[in-house]
Amino acid sequence: MVFPALTAGAARALHGTGAVQVSGALGGNDTVLQARSTVGAVRAGTGDDAVELHVRPKVGVSRLVWLLGHARNQSGWREDDVQVGTDIGVVAAMATMFMARCRRALAAGILHGYQEREEALPGLRGRLREADQMRARPGIPLPLEVRYDDYTIDVPENRVLRTAATQLLAVDGVAPAVRMALTRMTRDLADAALLTPGLRLPVITETRLNRRYWPALHLAQMILQRTSVEDRSGTSSANGFLFDMNRVYEDWLSQALISALEAIGGQGRRQQPLALDHGSRVTMQTDITWWSGAACVAVVDAKYKRLPPAGPRPEDLYQVLAYCTALGLRAGHLVYAAGTPAPAIVVRNAGVRLYSHVVSLADSPEHILDTIDAIAAKIAATVDGAEGQR
Instruction: List, in sequence order, the alpha helices (H) in the chain.
Output: 8-17, 61-72, 90-106, 130-136, 156-169, 176-188, 214-224, 245-264, 314-327, 365-381
List where CATH 3.40.1350 sits in the chain. 265-389
Instruction: Collect all residues with Cβ–Cβ distance below 8 Å to 134 and sequence separation of at least 6.
Output: none
Q: What is the pLDDT of residue 261?
A: 97
Cβ contacts of 39 within 8 Å, gap of 6 or more: 55, 56, 57, 64, 90, 242, 243, 245
The pLDDT, as a whole number, for residue 132 is 82
Q: Residue 114: helix, strand or coil by DSSP?
A: strand
Rounded CA separation 291/272 (Å): 11
* DSSP characters over 242-306: EEEHHHHHHHHHHHHHHHHHHHHSSEEEEEEEEESSTTS-SEEEEEEEEEETTEEEEEEEEEEEE
Say if residues 32 and 14 touch (Cβ distance below 8 Å): no
Cα distances (Å, whole numbers) of residue 231 to 45, 109, 190, 197, 234: 9, 41, 31, 17, 5
State which CATH number among 3.10.50, 1.10.720, 3.40.1350, 3.40.50 fits the domain covering 265-389: 3.40.1350
For residue 122, the model assigns a pLDDT of 86
Yes or no: say if 260 and 372 are a contact pair by the CB < 8 Å rule: yes
Contacts of 99 (CB under 8 A, 6+ apart): 178, 181, 182, 185
Half-sphere exposure of 59 (CA within 13 A, CB side): 27
Q: What is the pLDDT of residue 236?
A: 45
| Residue 27 pLDDT | 61
Q: State how far Cα 106 lies from the chain centre.
A: 25
The Cα-based distances of 160 to 23, 155, 353 in angstroms read 39, 9, 46
Q: Give pLDDT tens digits along the chain (390 positions).
A: 555 567 888 888 888 887 788 876 666 566 788 888 888 888 888 888 888 888 888 888 888 888 887 776 655 555 444 445 555 788 888 898 899 999 999 999 999 998 887 888 888 887 888 788 888 888 788 888 888 788 899 999 999 999 999 999 988 889 999 999 999 999 999 999 999 988 899 999 999 999 999 989 988 998 898 755 544 444 445 567 888 899 999 999 999 999 999 999 999 999 999 999 999 999 999 999 999 999 999 999 999 999 999 999 999 999 999 999 999 999 999 999 999 999 999 999 988 999 999 999 999 999 999 999 999 999 999 996 443 333
How high is the pLDDT of residue 232?
A: 44
- Dihedral sign, Cα of residue 312, residue 337, residue 333, residue 295: positive
Name the helix (H) or strand (E) containing 331. Answer: strand 331-339
CA 267/CA 193 separation, integer angstroms? 39
Residue 363: closest CA among 350, 354, 372, 375: 372
Put residue 293 in one of left, alpha, beta given phi > 0 → left and psi -120 to 50 → alpha.
left
CB burial readout 219-240, b (16+ within 10 A) else e: bbbbbeebbebebeeeebebbb
CA–CA gap between residue 87 and residue 67 (Å, rounded): 19
